[in-house]
Amino acid sequence: MDIARRVIARAPAAAGAPRLTVVTPQRGRGAMPTSEELNELVRAVATNGDRQAFAVLFKHFAPRVVTYLVRGGTPAASAEELAQEAMVVLWRKAASFDPARAGVSTWVFTIARNLRIDRHRRDGRGDAGSDHADVDLDAQPDPAASPDEALDARQHERRIHAALHRLSAEQARVLHLSYFAEAPHAEIARELGLPLGTVKSRIRLAMINLRRLIDATDP
């Protein structure tokens, strides 16, 4: 069974034939594709132009990219347009994606962020002429990484994910707002009931704690 069917079949409410649709059935957390499955899906897109695999990736990432962009202040219509653009970039650059260097979610995050920066830049210049941006894999570690380093990079990524899960709810919230909020400091102050002047030290504390957890997590 190919990767797209395997992932879809695991989703309880979507156990029929895979369909090309974004009407995603309710999926529990257990049905989230694993990072290995995401890697396989990107490989299927790269090697076979596999549209089913692309559809699974789209259903997983595009709605989350929209959430990320909208929370950051991008209007909903532009956010959906940019999320589509991010997925087009994923399709086109799939062949240059190297799972040894970074995970798919890290890659998609950098694509979405860079597209948003480019959009702001074009808007700032009033240059509406170009409707696409080049985004490549520069956000990934340098390609010269040896196999050992690549293994380290994968392990390191797993450690970071594990450390994030072990952060306190409040510090996890601080990180979430730091990345997602349109005005992180103001929103952190409001949500946590803190004076604005103390927010930066809270962010630093969360980062210090995350670093401690990353270093303390066994690979």
Partner 1 sequence: MIRHHPDDALLMALAADRLARGPAVVTAAHAEGCAHCRARLRELDVVGGALLEAAEPAVLAPEALARTLARIDAPEAGGVPGDALRAESTSTHRTARSPRSAPKQAAAPSRAELRFLASLPAGMAWPYSLRGSTTTPWRWLGPGMRWSRVTLADDRGANVFLLRIAAGKSLPAHTHDGIELTQVLHGAFDDGRERFDAGDFDEADGSIHHQPVVEPGGECICLASVEGRVAFDGRVARVLGSLVGM
Among positions 147-176, residues that touch partner 1 (CB under 8 A) are 156-157, 160-161, 164, 175-176
Binding residues for partner 1, how many (CB under 8 A)? 81
Round the CA-based radius of gyration of the chain to a whole number and report it: 19
**Binding to partner 1 (CB under 8 A): which residues in 71-90?**
72, 79-80, 83-85, 87-89
**Binding to partner 1 (CB under 8 A): which residues in 176-205?**
176, 178-181, 184, 200, 203-204
**Binding to partner 1 (CB under 8 A): which residues in 109-138?**
109-110, 112-114, 116-118, 120-121, 124-125, 130, 132-136, 138
For residue 61, what are the contacts with CB-CB under 8 A and spacing of at least 6?
83, 86, 87, 90, 105, 108
Among 92, 98, 145, 194, the residue binding partner 1 under the rule CB under 8 A is: 92
Among 11, 102, 188, 189, the residue binding partner 1 under the rule CB under 8 A is: 102
Residue linked to tokens 């979610």? 105
Q: Which two tokens stand for residue 72?
A: 């950051």
Shortest CA distance to 12 belongs to which of 33, 1, 26?
26
Binding string, 12-51, against partner 1, x = CB under 8 A? --------xxxxx-------x------------------x
Give the other-Cβ count within 10 Å of 204's Cβ: 11
80, 147, 164 from 68: Cα distances, Å: 11, 33, 18
Shortest CB 6 distance to partner 1, Å: 19
Among 41, 42, 53, 65, the residue binding partner 1 under the rule CB under 8 A is: 65
For residue 89, what are the contacts with CB-CB under 8 A and spacing of at least 6?
111, 115, 135
Shortest CB 1 distance to partner 1, Å: 22
Shortest CB 189 distance to partner 1, Å: 14
- Using the rule CB under 8 A, is 207 a contact of partner 1? yes
Straight-line distance from the first to the last Cα atom of the chain, in angstroms, rounded to the nearest whole number:
31
